[in-house]
Amino acid sequence: MLTEPIPADESLDTTGLYCPIPVIKTAEKMKGLPVGTVLEVISDDGGIEADLPAWCVGYGHDYLGSFRDGACWRLYVKKNAVD
């Protein structure tokens, strides 16, 4: 877990959405981004901390970590794979 947020190129707010929708929305957002882009995903879904890193491994992206911000998580993904 990160101790503070990290700079991100793009942000995706999935607050109020629950498994598997935050990961699906993340996948959709990543498709339009260039390789090397850091995406911040904001979520209040407790399962996102396990789901997003697993998705990153499966699709070739780097999971950079998460930061707890009140009731929400801020999770960071770096795009490595080409669509």
Catalogue the active-site residues: 19
Name beta bridge partners: 30: none
DSSP-based three-state secondary structure for 37: coil
